[in-house]
Amino acid sequence: TSTCTCDLSSVTAPTPFRPVSTDFFKKLLFTCCKPGVTKLSLLGPLIDRIPGDIFTQTACHNLEELSFTRTGISGQPDSFPADGQAFLGLPNLAKISFIDNPRLDSYPIGAFSGLGLSISEINLKRNPVKVLHGKEFDGLSELRRKLRLDLSQNLLEDVKLKAFEALPLQELVLDGNQLTDLKPEMFDGLTALTHLSLANNPIRTIIGGSLRYLTNLQSLFISTAGGGKSEILTLKQSMLHGLTGLRELTLEGLGFEEVEANALTEQAKLRHLNLSRNRFKNVPKKALERLAVFANAKLQSLDLSQNHITCLDHEALRAFEDLRRLRLDRNLITAIADKAFVGLTSLSELDLSHNPIRLLAPRSLAKLDRLLELKLGPVMDLAQNDMLERFALSALGMAKNSTRVHGLEALGIERGGGFPVPILLDTSRNLLQGECPIWGVPGVDFAWKHRPNEDLILDEAREENVSASVREDGNNSSWLDLLTSKKNLAIALAVTISLITILIAVIIVMYRVRTSKRTGSNSSLIRQRKNMLGATASEYAGSAITPAGANLYPTYPGLDMSHQHFYQEHILCTSPQGSQKSSTKKWATECEIAAEAALHLAPPPYPQHTR
């Protein structure tokens, strides 16, 4: 193997504590540094020092990666030698790491100067260092390669001026520290830097010009972890002055309420802009317009999620024809104007989810010909809007695309105009509940149904848990497929009416057959009961029919035998006790016979109080 790991974490320390001696350390290196071994990892608190010149006394010259993790090494000279003595004898070393060392609260002056010219990465994650004084990285100015320095998740509160000046840095990561201010000259001399990340720092101020020397910077990430009070209310041009090569910019959670009109005019190469988790009440239209006019119109992604935006104005982003991804989720958007997305001819992904949308103009999504993914809901009430056309494939020009729609939970459709023809869907938990007057069936539940590589169809819900998952049909078809285009709507209606007619006819035939069988089987019993009750119609005319198990009252004189109506739905058969129905078949048969015989004689209208 090319990796040797020496883990002393589980070794029981002697009492009193005695760290690893220089001789023992040397034996470890002799054991690990064999021909072919290029990676060495040392772990455990027993390793509390790096003896000076130790690597010159062993055959470790082939090492390319060296790491010290969870050790007992501190920033004291007897533990971490200064002036680079610790790393002499490692000419091929490309990466060195000190990760998660709880006692390493400072880096000695010139501690890394002994590293060879091949070093390309220094990883110093999760060490409790609070201050960088500016001399820690002396002696590294002549490196052959551009350097990546990772100081993330330390406890850095302050970086002294020109702390990184001696380094030929290409990438600097300062994520997860306690930095509150970006000050002038903090990053002086870093003309080769292309990537700077300050994510999850409690940044409160960005002093103008503090980044002006980063002329080759391509990506800048600045964000806060939340909870702090930012003093930055406006994104100003001076904050980004000099960043002419920037391609990716993230300014997340800094508390911006507005963007200065000229703030982005120097960023001619900008492709990705993230302004999420701020306090914008409107899309910064002027700043974006000037970015397009004075700098470029090649922006490809824009993230304005988790702001306080309440509405989308007409043509707010018209100039960005190359924009492919737009995030507006988790805002306070209640209305989207008719031409809000005009000009976004390349847009493939649009996220409007988690907004209390009440008005989505009928043509607001029109001409998004390349849209592949649309996210809506879950809070969305469109019941009072005439905008069902928004999902018509013909209107949107998406009939040949594979657009996926996410998040249509409890979308209420209560107005006329037909059931909306949807775009393609690829999601779960999307039960559509609404009233569709065109079908004449109120309260019908529909579920989205996805067929791979084909148009989406609506399928009437027949399962209680239909919203729990997306049902895949393969190539199976349904008559509701006709709904996927407007031109076939008439055919769909005709098929629907035909199916309903056939269903009604079948029900009528089945009912008549059942009635005929019952009448035939009981005809003799009915005649016997009639004879028992009096056998003639004239005898019925002046008396109540009160066979056992049936109470039919009051009496009606002058019954006309020509009225042969069946009103069994008005009959209530009660047991002789009057409190609960009998469970015996005999009593039920007698009750039915008596009721049927009486109703064959009863004239309309039947009194409401008759049971």
Instruction: Say whether 133 sits in a helix, a strand or coil.
Output: coil
What's the predicted TM-score (pTM) here? 0.64
For residue 607, whether the previous peptide bond is cis, meaning omega lies within 30 degrees of 0, is no
Which of 26-40, 206-220, 588-602 holds the top average pLDDT? 206-220
Instruction: Record the tokens describing residue 39, joined without a space.
Output: 């990676």
Residue of higher predicted confidence among 5 and 217 = 217
Which of 174-178, 368-372, 396-400, 488-492 holds the top average pLDDT? 174-178
Domain boundary among 98, 130, 160: 160
Domain boundary among 126, 143, 160: 160
Closest to 273 (Cα-Cα) out of 258, 260, 257, 291: 291
Query: DSSP characters for 499-524?
Result: HHHHHHHHHHHHHHHHHHHHHHHHHH
- Residue 25 domain-assigned? yes
For residue 415, what pLDDT is reported? 30
Please provide residue 150's backbone torsions phi and psi, each rounded to the nearest 5 degrees: -115, 110
- Percentage with pLDDT > 90 across the chain: 24
- Taking the C-alpha atoms of residue 130 and residue 135, their distance in angstroms, rounded to an integer, is 15
For residue 604, what pLDDT is reported? 46
For residue 227, what pLDDT is reported? 53
Which of 363-367, 493-497, 514-518, 542-546 holds the top average pLDDT? 493-497
Mean pLDDT over 480-491 rounds to 50
CB 256 within 8 A of CB 278: yes
Domain harbouring 79, CATH code: 3.80.10.10
pLDDT, tens digit, for every residue of 213-240?
A: 899 999 999 999 765 566 788 899 889 9
| Beta-bridge partners for 349 | 325, 373
Residue 584 has pLDDT above 80, yes or no: no
Residue 400 has pLDDT above 90, yes or no: no
Mean pLDDT over 444-459 rounds to 37
Residue 425 has pLDDT above 50, yes or no: no
Residue 163 has pLDDT above 80, yes or no: yes
Residue in the structure block whose two tokens are 């869907």 = 425
Mean pLDDT over 306-311 rounds to 88
- Taking the C-alpha atoms of residue 246 and residue 244, their distance in angstroms, rounded to an integer, is 6
| Beta-bridge partners for 249 | 220, 273
pLDDT band of 409, cuts 50, 70, 90: very low
Packing angle, helices 585-599 and 489-533, rounded to 10: 100
- Residue 144 domain-assigned? yes
Mean pLDDT over 120-148 rounds to 89
Residue 120 has pLDDT above 90, yes or no: yes
- Residue 99 domain-assigned? yes
- Taking the C-alpha atoms of residue 40 and residue 381, their distance in angstroms, rounded to an integer, is 60
Residue of higher predicted confidence among 378 and 220 = 220
SS in 3 state form for 407-474? CCCCCCCCCCCCCCCCCCECCCCCEEEEEECCCCEEEEEEEEEECCCCCCEEEECCCCCHHHCCCECC
For residue 527, what pLDDT is reported? 57
Taken as a whole, the chain contains a residue count of 611
| Beta-bridge partners for 219 | 195, 248
CB 450 within 8 A of CB 426: yes
pLDDT band of 106, cuts 50, 70, 90: very high
For residue 601, what pLDDT is reported? 45
Question: Within a 13 Å sphere around the CA of 385, how many CA atoms are in the beta-carbon half?
Answer: 23
pLDDT, tens digit, for every residue of 168-191?
A: 999 999 999 999 998 888 888 898
- Taking the C-alpha atoms of residue 45 and residue 344, their distance in angstroms, rounded to an integer, is 58
Residue 609 has pLDDT above 60, yes or no: no
- Residue 17 domain-assigned? yes
For residue 88, what pLDDT is reported? 86
Residue of higher predicted confidence among 161 and 194 = 194
Mean pLDDT over 458-471 rounds to 33
For residue 243, what pLDDT is reported? 92
* Number of domains making up the chain: 2
Please provide residue 505's backbone torsions phi and psi, each rounded to the nearest 5 degrees: -60, -45
pLDDT, tens digit, for every residue of 536-560?
A: 433 433 433 333 333 333 333 433 3
Mean pLDDT over 380-409 rounds to 38
Q: What angle do CA 279, 292, 312 make, to 5 degrees?
A: 40
For residue 386, what pLDDT is reported? 37
Furthest CA-CA distance within the chain: 130
pLDDT band of 13, cuts 50, 70, 90: low
Mean pLDDT over 272-291 rounds to 88
Mean pLDDT over 553-579 rounds to 37
For residue 249, what pLDDT is reported? 96
- Percentage with pLDDT > 70 across the chain: 62
- Residue 517 domain-assigned? yes
Instruction: Say whether 387 sits in a helix, a strand or coil.
Output: coil
Instruction: Record the tokens describing residue 33, joined without a space.
Output: 């540094």
- Residue 132 domain-assigned? yes
- Taking the C-alpha atoms of residue 305 and residue 223, their distance in angstroms, rounded to an integer, is 14
**Which string of b and e fits 536-561 if b means at least 16 CB within 10 Å?**
eeeebbeeebebebbbbeeebeebee
Domain boundary among 104, 131, 160: 160
CB 513 within 8 A of CB 555: no
Residue 494, amino acid: A
Distances (CA, A) of 468 to 427, 448, 452, 463, 512: 10, 11, 19, 10, 41
For residue 20, what pLDDT is reported? 64
How many secondary structure helices (H) and strands (E) does the chain include?
A: 6, 28
For residue 328, what pLDDT is reported? 94
- Residue 313 domain-assigned? no
For residue 580, what pLDDT is reported? 41
Residue 468 has pLDDT above 60, yes or no: no
pLDDT band of 1, cuts 50, 70, 90: low
Instruction: Say whether 358 sits in a helix, a strand or coil.
Output: coil
For residue 70, what pLDDT is reported? 94
For residue 296, what pLDDT is reported? 65
Residue of higher predicted confidence among 418 and 529 = 529
- Residue 56 domain-assigned? yes
DSSP element (H, E) containing 197: strand 195-198
CB 402 within 8 A of CB 377: no
SS in 3 state form for 524-564? HHHHHHHHHHCCCHHHHHCCCCCCCCCCCCCCCCCCCCCCC
Rounded (to 5) percent helix, strand, coil in the chain = 20, 15, 65
For residue 43, what pLDDT is reported? 92
Residue 271 has pLDDT above 50, yes or no: yes
Q: Quote the mean pLDDT of the chain.
A: 70
Q: What angle do CA 185, 190, 192 make, to 5 degrees?
A: 160
Q: What angle do CA 297, 300, 301 make, to 5 degrees?
A: 125
Domain span at 60: 1-160
